[in-house]
């Protein structure tokens, strides 16, 4: 069952020098319970995409066109008030900078309570029920309930990120967006926090979009991988199939550049310079770096197509 369907999403940053095309015609669908991993080099538009799903972008960013269908509601068509109500109750965010994502002057319980209380229409829950729910949530993410009374500076980075996970699942959303949720943590803690995130997501039956750089972590954790390049989704498909036989030349380089199967597979970068999103190369944006570039790649822009069952690629080779 499709939970989230993104169609032809385009997001531009309107700068003095012209529009920066951070997200260009991105389309994909997310099934119930599915985990989608989004990868791509820095500046390829992953965070912009994620924030636009929540309609959290501020000027100069603007969503130019497209649809974000949650069930059959287009989030982009909602009023501000409706969108506010949908946030976290339908579609939640686990932020990137865990170190600084919690309000330093507020107790953990107040920050969790805020999330619940302002979505608690008609006061279905009273104070003590909310408190009980908060304790449940904290225990669900492997924290002691005494954490509720603490301030963020009393917690370690991993604990803070667990609090953020608790916050993300507190309203049982259908979709959870996690933008590099563990990039600020050390390796051991990373794994533990990811496990917690996975369990929590499965428990409430939500779908997950995970943005990250660590391909090793992705390989173990997600079902589907989406590869972004210069604001476009260039390949999307099942994780095993993509690791076995990457189809897009960029994905191939990405996977080939991984050190080993066992080691920590962090994407190191590939030769050539990242394209400017202000003036992207004509035709296929990847052509200046592509080892398999053909003459017409420089003029004709490929579109995302299903080249094999379940395998979508945007490349003129196919």
Partner 1 sequence: MSIRYVLGRLLFFFVVVWAGITLIFFLPRLAPGRDPVRERLGMMAAMGGMNAENVERLAQAYEAKFGLDLPLWQQYLNYMSDIARFNLGYSLAKFPTRVIDIIGPALPWTISLLTVATVLAFLLGSLLGGLIAWDGAPPILRFLLPPLFTFSAIPYYLLGLILIYLFAFKLKWFPLTGGSQILTMPSVSFSYLLELIYHSILPALSIVLASIGFWALSMRGMMITVEGEDYVTLAEAKGLPSGRVFLWYAMRNALLPQTTALALSLGTILSGSLLVEIMFGYPGIGSALFIAITGFDYFVIYGIVFMIVVTIALATLILDLIYPLLDPRIRYQEN
Ligand X SMILES: Nc1ncnc2c1ncn2[C@@H]1O[C@H](COP(=O)(O)OP(=O)(O)OP(=O)(O)O)[C@@H](O)[C@H]1O
**Site of interaction with ligand SF4 (CB under 6 A):** 249, 284, 286-287, 290, 292-294, 297, 302, 315-317
Tell me the closest approach of the beta carbon of residue 307 to ligand SF4, in angstroms. Answer: 11
Residue that the structure tokens 């949720």 belong to: 181
Judge whether 177 and 54 are in contact, CB under 8 Å: yes
Residue that the structure tokens 């954790």 belong to: 221
Tell me which of ligand X, Mg ion, ligand SF4, none is bound by residue 249, counting a contact when its beta carbon lies within the kind-specific cut-off of 5 to 8 angstroms.
ligand SF4
Tell me the closest approach of the beta carbon of residue 136 to ligand X, in angstroms. Answer: 33
CA distances from residue 132 to 139, 144, 145, 149 in whole angstroms, order as listed: 11, 13, 10, 13
48 binds partner 1 (CB under 8 A): no
The interface with partner 1 within residues 64-93 (CB under 8 A) comprises 84-89, 92-93
19, 43, 97, 142: residue in contact with partner 1 (rule CB under 8 A): 97
Collect all residues with Cβ–Cβ distance below 8 Å to 124 and sequence separation of at least 6: none
Sign of CA dihedral 276, 277, 282, 285: positive
The interface with partner 1 within residues 121-180 (CB under 8 A) comprises 151, 153-154, 164, 167
8, 18, 56, 60: residue in contact with ligand X (rule CB under 6 A): 60
Identify which of residues 97 and 238 has a Cβ nearer to ligand X in the complex.
Answer: 97
Residue that the structure tokens 């803070």 belong to: 160
| 3-state class percentages of the chain: helix first, strand second, coil last, to nearest 5 | 35, 25, 40
Residues that bind partner 1 (CB under 8 A): 54, 56, 58, 84-89, 92-93, 95-97, 100-106, 114-115, 118-119, 151, 153-154, 164, 167
């Amino acid at each position: 069952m499709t939970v989230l369907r993104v169609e032809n999403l385009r997001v531009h940053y309107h700068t003095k020098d012209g529009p920066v095309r951070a997200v260009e015609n991105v389309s994909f669908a997310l099934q119930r319970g599915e985990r989608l991993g989004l990868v791509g080099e820095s500046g390829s538009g992953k965070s912009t995409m994620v924030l636009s799903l929540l309609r959290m972008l501020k000027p100069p960013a603007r969503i130019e066109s497209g649809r974000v269908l949650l069930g059959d509601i287009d989030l982009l068509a909602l009023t501000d008030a409706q969108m506010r109500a949908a946030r976290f109750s339908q579609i939640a965010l686990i932020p990137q900078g865990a170190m600084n994502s919690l309000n330093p002057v507020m107790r953990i319980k107040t920050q969790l309570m805020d999330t619940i209380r302002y979505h608690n229409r008609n006061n279905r829950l009273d104070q003590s029920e909310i408190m009980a729910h908060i304790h449940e949530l904290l225990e669900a993410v492997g924290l002691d309930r005494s954490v509720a009374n603490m301030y963020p500076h009393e917690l370690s980075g991993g604990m803070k990120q667990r609090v953020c996970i608790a916050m993300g699942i507190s309203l049982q959303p259908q979709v959870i967006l996690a933008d590099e949720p563990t990039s600020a943590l050390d390796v051991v803690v990373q794994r533990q926090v990811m496990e917690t995130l996975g369990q929590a997501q499965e428990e409430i039956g939500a779908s997950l979009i995970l943005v990250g750089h660590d391909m090793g972590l992705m390989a173990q954790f997600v079902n589907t991988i989406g590869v972004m390049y210069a604001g476009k989704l260039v390949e999307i498909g099942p994780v095993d199939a993509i690791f076995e036989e990457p189809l897009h030349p960029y994905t191939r380089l990405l996977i080939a550049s991984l050190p080993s199967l066992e080691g920590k597979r962090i994407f190191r970068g590939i030769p050539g310079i990242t394209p400017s999103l202000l003036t992207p190369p004509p035709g296929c944006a990847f052509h200046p770096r592509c080892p398999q570039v053909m003459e017409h790649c420089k003029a004709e822009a490929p579109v995302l197509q299903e080249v094999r069952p379940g395998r979508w690629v945007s490349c003129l080779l196919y």
